Structure 1
Amino acid sequence: MTQPATEAAVDIRRVGPESAATVHEIVRAAFAARPPVDPPADALAETVESLAASLSYGGLVAARDGVDVGALVLDPEGRTLWLRRVGVLPEVREHGVATALVADALARATGQVDDLAVLAREELPGTVTFWREHGFVQTADRSPYVELRRPAPRSYDAADADAMRRLGTALASVLRAGDVVVLSGELGAGKTTLTQGLGAGLGVRGDVTSPTFVIARVHPSLAEGPALVHADAYRLGGVAELDDLDLDTSLDDAVTVVEWGEGIAEGLADDRLEVRIDRAVGGRADEEAGLDPRQVFVAPVGRRWLGVVLPALSD
């Protein structure tokens, strides 16, 4: 029996003016294959020389099987990182190349800027939809372009459980009723520990423990703030299903924290805070000192988070 072909990995590298010819070739082929628009796309007027100037800060090139197939130009403007000339060769579209480019740009922007932005032609709804599916929201109409933005992620180091709780307490300072926090990470990564910090920062009642066996648990506020709804996504199809449970509070009046939400986050809420917890790269657990360091990647998604400054965390 013939096995299905494995999708080739996409390798991304940072490039500069020296790669202007490569970027030009990709951009020209990508934009020439798009439906015609009036006025024509500015990208078609690019030259190797103009792209070399645009690449003074840098750009990204994507390769599959050693062949360069996608590119974009990184253009910082104040606290915004613009993604320009985003192009993928026609023969490899729908193979995750553009998604890999965007993911890499987001990772490089982590903690460096406030948001990422892009211009998409309004006559190309599929392109606009692509950006919306990747967490960008429309912020302006610059006919014939649509401006879309996404808040930049931020990463934190957590040396131990206490540090993870302190991070949760700090993040609680930017949360309000109706917010959804989606937590992902391997078993024992610290999702519940982070939620304990969120609960402490929100000032809710009760011990925060893993919701695995109860689907969802409500922690009412001890003050005037929102309740905390702590849920397990294993058995949930989305926030609508969670809202159908017989809870003591409306999700609109609570902060909802969903563990194991990776892969279903898009169905949970358009506006959400995605939090991924990983073991620190190169970090080793120090059992005697009680340390098992983590890296926490916090990615705000949606209009709710535009302009919201995620908290700094001092040691």
Structure 2
Amino acid sequence: MRLADPQATEAFGASLAPLLRVGDVITLRGDLGAGKTSIARGLLAALGLAGEAPSPSFAFVQPYAPPEVRLPVLHVDLYRIEDAAEIEEFGLDEARGDSVLVIEWPERAPGWWPDALALRLAIEPDGARALTAAVPAAWSARWPT
């Protein structure tokens, strides 16, 4: 899928919001500036978040809960972790039972979310974004084709 500009990237994130279920995991891969946080921001805005969602780069995990958003969401940024074992301290396995996880830089913790909707963004020469997806069985009926 081609996302022409930042607005299209956020709009794509927003299109995922009505499809979400508690327990879903969405992973976002791509170089710095590829649009990972833009997808998360669009998704969170469509879930009802007023204002712009900050990047969780320094907090690692940014929680959102009703009534701020329609569903509980944990926006996770793994860019700064040094060892995948650090993720256990975040309590994401437990949180997944009652939240949606949106994880940036999942390659820092390979194998942790094998059933995630895995999205990858690449910057095209003209500045657009190329989005590819690995769609797990749980998303096959919901995935926008």
User: Under a length normalisation based on structure 2, what TM-score does the superposition of the two structures give?
Assistant: 0.83
Distance 1:182 1:175 in 2: 13
> CA deviation digits over 1:34-77, x for unaligned, max 9?
xxxxxxxxxxxxxxxxxxxxxxxxxxxxxxxxxxxxxxxxxxxx
User: Counterpart of 1:183 in structure 2: which amino acid?
Assistant: L
The one of 298, 304, 312 aligned to 2:138? 304
Query: Structure 2 regions of 5+ residues with no counterpart?
Result: none
Tell me which protein shows more strand as a share of its residues.
1
Residues 1:220 and 2:55 are matched in the alignment: no
SS of 1:252's equivalent in the other structure is coil
Distance 1:221 1:157 in 2: 32
User: Counterpart of 1:273 in structure 2: which amino acid?
Assistant: L
1:41-56, aligned counterparts within 5 Å? none
How far has the Cα of 1:240 moved from its partner?
4.1
CA contact (8 A) 1:161 1:190 kept: yes
Distance 1:189 1:212 in 2: 15
1:1-315, aligned counterparts within 5 Å? 156-204=1-49, 207-222=52-67, 225-234=70-79, 235=81, 237=84, 240-243=88-91, 250-262=95-107, 264-267=109-112, 269-280=113-124, 283-284=125-126, 292-301=127-136, 303-305=137-139, 307-312=140-145
User: Under a length normalisation based on structure 1, what TM-score does the superposition of the two structures give?
Assistant: 0.41
Larger Rg over CA atoms:
1
CA contact (8 A) 1:205 1:220 kept: no
> CA deviation digits over 1:245-271, x for unaligned, max 9?
xxxx9332111111111253422x232
User: Counterpart of 2:116 in structure 1: which amino acid?
Assistant: R
Equivalences, count: 142
Distance 1:177 1:206 in 2: 23
> CA deviation digits over 1:144-184, x for unaligned, max 9?
xxxxxxxxxxxx21111110010001122221111111111
Distance 2:142 2:71 in 1: 20
Query: Structure 1 regions of 5+ residues with no counterpart?
Result: 1-155, 285-291
Q: Share of identical aligned residues, percent?
A: 32
Distance 2:67 2:133 in 1: 27
How far has the Cα of 1:300 moved from its partner?
1.7
CA contact (8 A) 2:27 2:119 kept: yes
Distance 1:231 1:224 in 2: 16
User: Counterpart of 2:52 in structure 1: which amino acid?
Assistant: D
